[in-house]
Structure 1
Amino acid sequence: MEKATFGSGCFWCTEAMFQRLKGVSQVKSGYAGGHTQNPTYKEICTGKTGHAEVIQLDYDPNVISYDELLEVFWKTHDPTTLNRQGNDVGSQYRSAVFYHTENQKKLAEAYKKKLDESDIWTDAIVTEISSLDIFYPAEIEHEDYYNQNSSQPYCAFVVTPKVEKFKKIFADKLS
């Protein structure tokens, strides 16, 4: 098993998608890329800790490659909006790849460059690609949030449409 860490807005949305992929055995919500030790969700929401909401996943590279995970990452959020995904605004919602190895860094940079050169988006891709320093797991109430709270208004109106779109686009990769 290998690890991957991505920030693409609200971790409830990101977790709900990545945990449905074949080859992904575990997805944990958490925080990365900041300067405060052991941050809490309440602190993260102020934007003052410098952390992004992220998911960290364990995956089997014999079943799903890092490139395939990058494809899911870039196709399930807007990598051109700085510190924002939809109505979620703040540096904690930034687009970020936190790599674990030099190979992950190389693959993420190559994928980003390919997307930049493709002119898919009219705006530049602002996704941060940084080495993972420390991953702080989120509080227990954030784990498996969407699956446990799908009728909660944010989940029903924001997460569910993203998950449904994801399931159509990536049907061949679902577990």
Structure 2
Amino acid sequence: MSDYKKAYIAGGCFWGMEDLFRTRPGIIDTEVGYIGGQNEHPTYRSHPGHAEGIEITYDPNETSFKRILDYFFRIHNPTTLDQQGNDMGSSYRSAIFFQNEEEKQEAQEVIKIVDDSNKWEGDAVTTLEPYSTFWAAEPEHQDYLQKKPNGYTCHFERFDKSFL
């Protein structure tokens, strides 16, 4: 039995976030999907209120929830409401789906650090939402940028130094 943990975040199109996180130290697995919305069994064509999110399985002996959030805030713009790059709408919101009070508190701490850094023009509009069911996206969306290396993404490392 492993001691792996899971984290759930959303920051725009899920393809780019998954592609960058998959190679981070301590990340065991990534899966794209839908979270935080209104319908059960959402699909790419029908996911009202859901964010395009990623489920990150990680080894807490190699990384931490705070380190994951630190990288999250370096690869997307947390100051744009419901938008990343060309993608607009609540599906593309910046959100952290906390599973317990400890994760919520750590997320609040990291957001404050990010805001206090003044690296972004404005404060983060990242929402903190209680974890709800994570629904895996269709197979064609999993590992999308590995299958289509020149596919669309608006995610990249904007800062080389950690916020922490």
Scaled by the length of structure 2, the TM-score of the pair is 0.90
Distance in 2 of aligned mates of 1:19 and 1:110: 24
- Matching residue of 1:117: 116
- Matching residue of 1:136: 135
Secondary structure at 1:5's aligned position in 2? Answer: strand
Distance in 2 of aligned mates of 1:12 and 1:55: 9
Scaled by the length of structure 1, the TM-score of the pair is 0.84
Secondary structure at 1:120's aligned position in 2? Answer: coil
Shift of 1:99: 1.1
Secondary structure at 1:42's aligned position in 2? Answer: coil
Shift of 1:137: 0.5
Identity %: 39
Superposition map of 1:80-95 within 5 A: 80-95=79-94
Match of residue 6, structure 1, among 9, 13, 30 = 9
Q: Does 1:169 align with 2:140?
A: no
Runs ≥4 in structure 1, deviation > 4 angstroms? Answer: none
Structure 1 residue runs without a partner (length 5+)? 171-175
Distance in 1 of aligned mates of 2:126 and 2:66: 16
Shift of 1:36: 1.1
Greater helix share, structure number: 1
Worse overlay, 71-80 or 106-115: 106-115
Distance in 1 of aligned mates of 2:92 and 2:138: 17
Distance in 2 of aligned mates of 1:9 and 1:50: 13
Q: Aligned-pair RMSD on alpha carbons? A: 1.7
Shift of 1:101: 2.2
Shift of 1:16: 0.1
Shift of 1:115: 2.0
Distance in 2 of aligned mates of 1:111 and 1:169: 17
**Contact between 1:3 and 1:100, CA under 8 Å: does it hold in 2?**
no
